[in-house]
Amino acid sequence: MEKILLLGFSDQASLKLLPEGATVAASLAASLECSWEVALVGKGVQEAANALGSCGAAKFYGVEGDEFAFARYSSDLPAAEALLKASQSTLILVPGSSRANRVLSALAMRLGGRADTHVTRVAVEEGKVLANRWFYRQRMEACFSRSQRPWVISLEPGNVEPQSFNAATVSVEMVSVALPDDAKRTKVLGLKYPAGTAQTIRPDAQLLFVAGAGWTKKQPDGELHVPEAEKTILDFLEKTQSSLGSTKSLVDQTGGGDAVLSFMTHLNQIGQTGSTPRHAKGLATCCHGEEPHVVGWRFITERRAVNIDANCGWARGKTDVLYVADAFAVMKKVNELLSE
């Protein structure tokens, strides 16, 4: 008989993923007709548990304290281990924040189990638990099962619509974990991001805005308009809080001595050799829509593109709507409308 544990951390980024994790845990427990529990590590564990109050979990556990407030391998790992031992669950579902993903394989190793990260679906078929994940830069999807327990499964965020749970006061069984001094040597003093990217890459945004190399090319008047391109793009991002993506051609220009957009880095690149984000909508501008770029749009549900060329790659069935227009003019007008 399986028993499910939803394991979460109480930093802001991890907390946001808890409702989605609880939705998956509740649904899996219903399919397996087994009970499920919640375990939380960090500071403010009671409040985090209360927020999930009505989710249907049979029991809540916590490791609480200042020493567990921030992501640190040497404290997160013993805390998670203690919680798993207290719960004795066989299937451990963990919302896949960077904090969680850092400790999961070691956690499974310590308990003689197995870990899988970036799992996009967990389901039950003929009584067997099956997990899905993508391999080889999102080109192949595997559906697999494991016999080892505990099976630690990190859930890739954004795959399940989270239920909204009513808050209720729950009783949390606190588990105490004594950390040796050498587990406390690392202190998190703050976060620093590479210049530019912190403000432009927003995984939670509704819209992915992609800028292609066309923004830095000569325009119909024979001139470059790079400062205008920068202003238009940043204005749109600020107004909409969209996430900024790029093509490879545009980010590679940084090293080629060509005109560049100062806020663009390789971290913005979408595509075969870039990232594959999961925004609900995407808008490509001044981007040709070549296959190595468009494969990065695999999980973008609704796609639109603005290109001056009616024969660009997007026109070949790769977008829902193609506006054949000058992106400088279109985005300027969009920004005006947004200002109103």
Ligand X SMILES: Cc1cc2nc3c(=O)[nH]c(=O)nc-3n(C[C@H](O)[C@H](O)[C@H](O)COP(=O)(O)OP(=O)(O)OC[C@H]3O[C@@H](n4cnc5c(N)ncnc54)[C@H](O)[C@@H]3O)c2cc1C
| Sequence letter at residue 160 | V
Q: Which of 272, 304, 315, 335 binds ligand X (CB under 6 A)?
A: 272
User: What is the 8-class DSSP label of residue 320?
Assistant: S
* Closer CB to ligand X, 177 or 233, in the complex: 233
Applying the rule CB under 6 A, the residues between 86 and 115 that interact with ligand X are none
Are 61 and 175 within 8 A, CB to CB? Answer: yes
- Nearest CB to ligand X, comparing residues 47 and 309: 309
Residue 335's DSSP bridge partners are none
Residue 303 as a binder of ligand X (CB under 6 A): the answer is no
Q: Which is nearer to ligand X, 156 or 290 (CB)?
A: 290
Q: Among 3, 279, 288, 318, which residue interacts with ligand X (rule: CB under 6 A)?
A: 288
Q: Which stretch binds ligand X (CB under 6 A): 33-41, 71-79, 100-108, 302-310?
A: 302-310
Q: Which two tokens stand for residue 215?
A: 């923004």
Contact 261, 287 (CB under 8 A): no
Q: Are 45 and 10 in contact (CB under 8 A)?
A: yes
Residue numbers 315-334 binding ligand X by CB under 6 A: 326-328
Minimum gap (Å) between residue 254 Cβ and ligand X = 13
Separation of alpha carbons 262 and 194, rounded Å: 12
Residues contacting ligand X: total by CB under 6 A: 30
CA 250 to chain centre: 24
Output the smallest distance, CB 161 to ligand X, in A. 29
Q: How far is the CB of 211 from ligand X (least distance, A)?
A: 8
- Within residues 209-268, the interface with ligand X by CB under 6 A covers 212-214, 217, 219, 247-250
Q: Give 36 or 328: the residue with its C-beta nearer to ligand X.
A: 328
Contacts of 258 (CB under 8 A, 6+ apart): 216
Q: Which long-range contacts (CB under 8 A, 24 or more apart) does 287-293 make?
A: 287/210, 287/211, 287/212, 287/213, 287/214, 287/247, 287/314, 288/212, 288/214, 288/247, 288/312, 288/313, 288/314, 289/313, 289/314, 289/315, 289/316, 289/318, 289/319, 292/248, 293/212, 293/247, 293/248
Q: With CB under 6 A as the contact rule, which of the stretches 15-23, 29-37, 128-136, 283-291 interacts with ligand X? A: 283-291
- Sites of contact with ligand X (CB under 6 A): 212-214, 217, 219, 247-250, 269-274, 286-288, 290, 292-293, 296, 306-309, 312, 326-328
